[in-house]
Amino acid sequence: MYNININLNNKNMATTEIAALKNAVEYLKLNGLAVLEHYTQDKRKTNKKYFLSLNGTCQSPVLGYEQMNHFILGMIKMKELC
């Protein structure tokens, strides 16, 4: 048996999260829609937060990765139904 250890530090994990969210937004094919990271001054909070911006205006609440992923998946489903 092989013992494989994968160590991802928080920086790589955050990069992977933002890349996954951006890929989901690109799937929507809406010009000007982008996922951006929400920055806070509070250094105690370690979880990254994200929001959607359409041509510079905020189009979603500030959410964590999992919630933003569900939000985008809901938008994809809505677009498929319409």
18-71 pLDDT, tens digit per residue, is 999 999 999 988 889 999 999 888 878 778 899 999 998 999 999 999 999 999
**Domain range list for the chain:** 10-81
- Chain Cα centroid distance, residue 3: 31
Burial class from Cβ neighbours inside 10 Å (0-12, 13-18, 19+) for residue 50 reads buried
| Cα 48–Cα 28–Cα 33 angle in degrees, nearest 5 | 60
The Cα 48–Cα 14 span in angstroms is 7
Global pTM value: 0.77
